[in-house]
A and B are shown apart, each in its own frame.
Chain A
C-alpha cells in the first residue's frame, strides 16, 4: 500500500470531518449567541445554560481542523492563513469576546452583566460572519478579486443564517415553555433567509469558479451528483414543515429540526469536498503536493487512530450526561 498516497487522503478526510463537526456544534452555540439579544434576561440565562457544558469542547473542533491543516498540509497552511489574515484576525477577536463573555457575564458582578451579554452576541455575530467570509474566500481559491469578494460576502451572510437555525433548533431540544415557543418562532423567521442564501451560494459557486463548474456540469458526474441537491431540498422542506407543525413540536420531536440541519450540513460538505478535491488550495495545491513527509504523517496517524474514537466516545458521554432540558444551572 502506498502510504504517500493514502495518508494525505486520510488527513484530508479527517480535516473535513473535524470542520463539519465544528460547523454543527459550534454553529448552534454561536447561533444562540446571536439570538441572545431577542430574549428576556431570565431566558438569556437558560440559553447560556443550554450551551454551558458543551461550548468549550465544541470550539476545540476548529483547533483540530486548523491543526490538521497545519500538521498534514503545512505548505497549504501558510498560503491559506496568510491570505485570510484579516478575516482570521477579526474572527479570532470575535471568538475571544464570545468565549470570555460567557464566563464574565456571571462572574463580573450584576452591574456589568448587560455589557457582557451584548459582547457575547457581538462576538458570536462577528465570528460567524468572518467564518463565512473565510469559507467564501477559500472556495474561490484565495484570489481576492471582486467576484470572489462578493462571493465571500454572500457566504458571510449565509453562514450566520445557518448558525441561527442551528441555535434555534438546539433550543427546541434544550428548553421548554415560553422560550421554546420563541425558539420555534425564531426558526420560522430564519429558515427563509437561510434557504435563500443557500440557494444563492449554490448558484454562485459554479459561476465564480470554472474548475468547480467543470466538475458539476460534465456528464456523467452531473447525474451522479443529482442526489445531493435533491436530498438537500427535501431536508430543507422537512425543516420548514417541522418548525411549522404544532403537532411535531408539542410532542417533543423538535430534535428532528436539528437532525434535518445536520443532514443539510453533511450534504453541503459532501458537495464542497467533491468540488475541491483533490486540491487543498483550489487550483494551486493538491493534497499530495502540500502534504508533510510520510513518516511525520504516519506518526500522527497512529495517534489520531487511537485518540479520535476516544474523543468521539467521551463527547458522546458528555452529551448523554447533560441530556434533557437545560435547567437553570447553578454556576453563579
Chain B
C-alpha cells in the first residue's frame, strides 16, 4: 500500500510537535510555581516550602529535558521536512526563531544548572534569582514561538515579492492580530496544566499515605490557581474565538460544524460531521446559540464551510478536538472550584477528609495535556490547507522524500515517543510514591541551611 508522502510528513510533524508541546506546557507554568515556592520559603523560612521546591524541581528538570530534546528535533524538522517554508517565509520566521534561541534557550538552559545543583554553591538570593531567570526564559520562549505561530495564522506586516515574504514592519509581524489572544490562552493553559499536575500528584501522595505538610501546601496552591485561572481561561478562549471569527472564519465554521452561511446559527453540541454529504449527522442543536457566542447577538451571521470550497480544513478532527477542549476546560472549572471550597474550608490534612476530591484530582493529573493537545489540534488543523493562512499552502513547501523514508522515520519516532511517555509517567509515579521523609534535607544541607539563617539573622 502506497501512502501519500505529504500526509506522512504532516503526520510526522504532528507526532513530533504533539510530543514536544506536552513538556513546555508543563515547564512554562511549573517554573513560575517553583519560583512561588522558592519565594515563600525565602520570606517565611518554612521548610515545607523548601521541600515542595526540591520535590517539584526534580519533576521540572525531567520535563525540561524532554522538552529540550524534542525541541531540538523541531528545529531540525523545519529543514528536513518543510524546506519550502523557510525558503519562502524565512525572512519572517527566521528572526523570530532566532530571538527565541538568543533570548530564551540559553537563559533557561544555563540557569537551570544553578536551580538544580547550585543551592550549596550560591547565595539564597542568587538561587532565587536563578529560578526567576529560568521562569522568564521559558516565558520568552513561549512569546517568540507563539508570535511566529500566530503570524502563520494571521499574517500581517509583510509584502510578497516573487513568492518570497519580506518584512514591512516588525512590530506588526510580532504583534500580529491573533498573537495577544493566542499567547494569553497558551500561557494560561500552561499555568492550568501545572496547577492540575501539582494537585494531582499531591492528591495521589495523600491517597498513598506518603504526604507531609508540603504536600497539602502544594495542593492548596494548585486549587487556588485552578479556581481563578480556569474561569479566566473560558473568558480568554471566548475572546480568542471572536478574533478567529474575524480572521479565520473557515476555522470557526469547522469548529462549529456550520455548512451553510446563516444568521441565528444553532450551536451543535454533538454530532458527526460528514464532509462528503456536507452535513452533520445526528446533530443535537441549540437554536441561535452559536450566533450568540460568536457574535454576541442572537441574529449574528456566521459563514458556512460551503463558502470556502477547497480551502477549508478537514471538519471532523477540528470539530471533535474543539469539543474535547471545551469539555475538559469546563471540568477544570468545576473541579477547581470544588477543590478550593473543600481545601480552604476545612484545614484537615488527611486523605480520609476528602476521599472523592483526592481521587478526582489524581485522575485529572494530566487533564491539562488533553485540553492543550485538543486546543492545538483545533488551531493547527483548523489552519489547513494553509501553512501561512490564505497565502501559502502546506503542500507547496513539503520536502521531496520517498514515502518509505518518511514512514520509516515516523515509525521510529512514534516508538521512541511512546517509550519515553510511558517512562515519564512511570518516573513521576515513582517519585510521587516515595515517602515524604526522603525529601528531607541531608544533614550536611541542614547544617548549611542553619548557618545561612543565622547569617541572615
- Interface residues, chain A, with chain B CB atoms under 8 Å away: 52-54, 56-57, 59-60, 62-64, 66-72, 74-75, 77-82, 84-86, 88-89, 92-93, 95-100, 102-104, 107-109, 292-293, 295-296, 299-300, 303-304, 307-308, 311, 314-315, 318, 321-322, 329-332
Nearest CB of chain A from residue B377's CB, rounded to whole Å: 23
B101 at interface, CB cutoff 8 A: yes
B278 at interface, CB cutoff 8 A: no
Measured between beta carbons, the chain B residues less than 8 angstroms from A54 are 113
Partner among B83, B110, B170, B412 whose Cβ is within 8 Å of the Cβ of A79? B83
B395 at interface, CB cutoff 8 A: no
B98 at interface, CB cutoff 8 A: yes
Partner among B79, B80, B121, B420 whose Cβ is within 8 Å of the Cβ of A100? B420
Measured between beta carbons, the chain B residues less than 8 angstroms from A69 are 79
Complex Cα distance, B412 from A99, in Å, reads 17
Complex Cα distance, B84 from A56, in Å, reads 30
Measured between beta carbons, the chain B residues less than 8 angstroms from A331 are 58, 116-117
Chain B residue nearest in CB terms to A329: B117
A303 and B99 contact, CB distance less than 8 A: yes
Q: Report if A321-B114 is in contact (Cβ < 8 Å); known contacts: A57-B109, A79-B83.
A: yes
Complex Cα distance, B166 from A78, in Å, reads 18
Chain B residue nearest in CB terms to A54: B113
Interface centre among B61, B94, B167, by most chain A C-beta atoms within 10 angstroms, is B94
A60 and B109 contact, CB distance less than 8 A: yes
Complex Cα distance, B79 from A311, in Å, reads 25
A88 and B80 contact, CB distance less than 8 A: yes
Complex Cα distance, B99 from A296, in Å, reads 12
A78 and B87 contact, CB distance less than 8 A: yes
Q: Size of chain B's interface in residues, with CB distance under 8 A?
A: 67
Measured between beta carbons, the chain A residues less than 8 angstroms from B442 are 330
Q: Mark B421-455, 1 if CB is under 8 A from A, else 0.
A: 00100110011000000100010010000000000
B72 at interface, CB cutoff 8 A: yes
Measured between beta carbons, the chain A residues less than 8 angstroms from B400 are 82
Interface centre among A69, A88, A96, A300, by most chain B C-beta atoms within 10 angstroms, is A96
A contacts with B: majority SS? helix
Complex Cα distance, B72 from A98, in Å, reads 13
Sampled A-B contacts (9; CB under 8 Å): A57-B110, A77-B90, A78-B83, A81-B76, A85-B80, A93-B416, A95-B69, A96-B72, A303-B99
Partner among A59, A68, A82, A292 whose Cβ is within 8 Å of the Cβ of B399? A82
B296 at interface, CB cutoff 8 A: no
A70 and B430 contact, CB distance less than 8 A: no
- Nearest first, the 6 A-B pairs at minimum CB distance are A78-B83, A74-B90, A81-B79, A53-B113, A71-B94, A307-B102
B338 at interface, CB cutoff 8 A: no
Complex Cα distance, B76 from A85, in Å, reads 9
Nearest CB of chain B from residue A115's CB, rounded to whole Å: 10
A70 and B117 contact, CB distance less than 8 A: no
Measured between beta carbons, the chain B residues less than 8 angstroms from A296 are 90-92, 94-95, 166-167
Nearest CB of chain A from residue B117's CB, rounded to whole Å: 5
B69 and A78 contact, CB distance less than 8 A: no
A56 and B121 contact, CB distance less than 8 A: no
A78 and B86 contact, CB distance less than 8 A: yes
A321 and B121 contact, CB distance less than 8 A: yes
Chain B residue nearest in CB terms to A330: B442
Q: Report if A100-B97 is in contact (Cβ < 8 Å); known contacts: A74-B90, A304-B102, A322-B121.
A: no
Measured between beta carbons, the chain B residues less than 8 angstroms from A62 are 72
Partner among B110, B116, B413 whose Cβ is within 8 Å of the Cβ of A315? B110
B269 at interface, CB cutoff 8 A: no
Measured between beta carbons, the chain B residues less than 8 angstroms from A59 are 68, 72, 109
Nearest CB of chain A from residue B418's CB, rounded to whole Å: 13
Q: Mark B29-70, 1 if CB is under 8 A from A, else 0.
A: 000000000000000000000000000001001101110111
Complex Cα distance, B150 from A46, in Å, reads 45
Q: Report if A67-B70 is in contact (Cβ < 8 Å); known contacts: A303-B102, A311-B106.
A: no
B72 and A318 contact, CB distance less than 8 A: no
Chain A residue nearest in CB terms to B133: A314
Chain B residue nearest in CB terms to A93: B416
B72 and A92 contact, CB distance less than 8 A: yes
Nearest CB of chain B from residue A14's CB, rounded to whole Å: 10
Measured between beta carbons, the chain B residues less than 8 angstroms from A295 are 91, 166-167
Measured between beta carbons, the chain A residues less than 8 angstroms from B80 are 81-82, 84-85, 88-89
With A52-B117, A74-B86 given, name 5 new contacts (CB 8 A): A71-B94, A96-B69, A96-B72, A108-B423, A314-B106
A80 and B62 contact, CB distance less than 8 A: no
A321 and B98 contact, CB distance less than 8 A: no
Complex Cα distance, B423 from A109, in Å, reads 11
A318 and B98 contact, CB distance less than 8 A: no
B281 at interface, CB cutoff 8 A: no
Q: Mark B90-134, 1 if CB is under 8 A from A, else 0.
A: 111011011101110111011111101110011000000000000
Q: Report if A66-B75 is in contact (Cβ < 8 Å); known contacts: A78-B84, A322-B117, A322-B121.
A: yes
B285 at interface, CB cutoff 8 A: no
Complex Cα distance, B166 from A304, in Å, reads 20
Complex Cα distance, B106 from A158, in Å, reads 29
Nearest CB of chain A from residue B77's CB, rounded to whole Å: 8
B350 at interface, CB cutoff 8 A: no
Measured between beta carbons, the chain A residues less than 8 angstroms from B61 are 103
Measured between beta carbons, the chain A residues less than 8 angstroms from B68 are 56, 59, 99
A318 and B110 contact, CB distance less than 8 A: yes
Nearest CB of chain B from residue A246's CB, rounded to whole Å: 31
A70 and B69 contact, CB distance less than 8 A: no
B78 at interface, CB cutoff 8 A: yes
Complex Cα distance, B122 from A314, in Å, reads 14
B170 and A299 contact, CB distance less than 8 A: yes
